[in-house]
Structure 1
Amino acid sequence: MAREIAGAVLAAVTAVQSESASHADEAFEELEALPFEQVVSVQSGIVRELLEMAHPDGLVGEDVQEVLQRCIRSTAAWCARLDVQVLVEVLTGALGVADVDANPQVAEPGAYVAAATVVIVDLLRAVRVPAVEVIRRSVGEIARAETMEIP
């Protein structure tokens, strides 16, 4: 399943990078067909890692605001399905700021995977690393965490 999710995330990233609404919608549908919690786990890990890479000295509110603004500007012309509120939830959730249990998701799963993918693409542009490397590390970190014994 991890390999399938990694491939679907990479396909979605590639589609968003191409700025093609039809390709992006198709890629988002592939992600939506996979187990939502696992996709969110992988995408959140990728977002966290990219934010750490982009802001090694720490992240402040203005940094998050810049990411939001860049995401909105870069997709406004071609990605009608981007929901700004969900974009905020994706960022705050990946940072551990939002309490997911106290604030259940209000949008459809597709809105979350689309917003997360847009954030990933924005941050990949900022840090200039290949998507496949970050995806591989995120999936590897999840696998490592799941195999560790809890005392």
Structure 2
Amino acid sequence: MTTTWRHLPAAAREIADAAMVAVTAAAERDGAAYGPAVERLTSADRAGLVLGGVVRLLLEESHPDGLDGDDVRQVLERCVRSNAAWRADVDPHVLLVLLASALGVYDPGDDDAPPDAAAIARHAPLLIADLMAATGRPLSDHLSAAFAEVARTELHD
């Protein structure tokens, strides 16, 4: 089943479409489709916010009793190991920043600049595809929920 995103504004539709392609490509280890989808995500304003929301939702769903340091380490190690063979540029630090940011505990400190939009766009679909393997719901459900959270947050700010 193909999800339509007609109800979303054009910028959000672009994020949703690119995320669907990128996460599917990551799950299938399809480098030819992954590169262009990542470029689309990199150029989409606020894509990192939406992708981070999806990561958080997936973490909550796959760890309903909460996460501890060992859980985070296992997610990180599994994602790096499963993607290193087809993505030589996988960076554990960027994945860790994505995890910490999604959990609301990332503090870059004085010496650590956060990853740029391109690094986030290259790594978030890898992490999402890895976390998706543990859930039974389609990505479109998680994307819809992430967009709803972004909209709620913007209304209350």
TM-score normalized with structure 1 length = 0.89
Q: May I ask how many residue pairs the two structures share in their alignment?
A: 146
Alignment-derived partner of residue 67 in structure 1: 75
What letter is aligned with 2:59? L
Alignment-derived partner of residue 104 in structure 1: 113
Structure 1 gaps, min length 5: none
Q: Verify the 8 A CA contact 2:21 2:33 in the aligned structure 1.
A: no
Alignment-derived partner of residue 88 in structure 1: 96
Taking the aligned partners of 1:101 and 1:8, their CA distance within structure 2 comes to 31
Alignment-derived partner of residue 19 in structure 2: 9
User: Runs ≥4 in structure 1, deviation > 3 angstroms?
Assistant: 100-103
Note if 1:22 corresponds to 2:32: yes
Deviations 1:3-57 (A, max 9, x none): 221111111111111101222112111111112xx11110111111110111111
Cα RMSD of the aligned pairs, angstroms, is 1.6
Alignment-derived partner of residue 141 in structure 1: 149
Deviations 1:127-149 (A, max 9, x none): 2210111011101111122123x
Displacement of 1:100 in angstroms is 4.7
Partner residue of 1:46 out of 37, 41, 54: 54
Taking the aligned partners of 2:67 and 2:124, their CA distance within structure 1 comes to 18
Displacement of 1:101 in angstroms is 7.4
Q: Percent identity?
A: 40
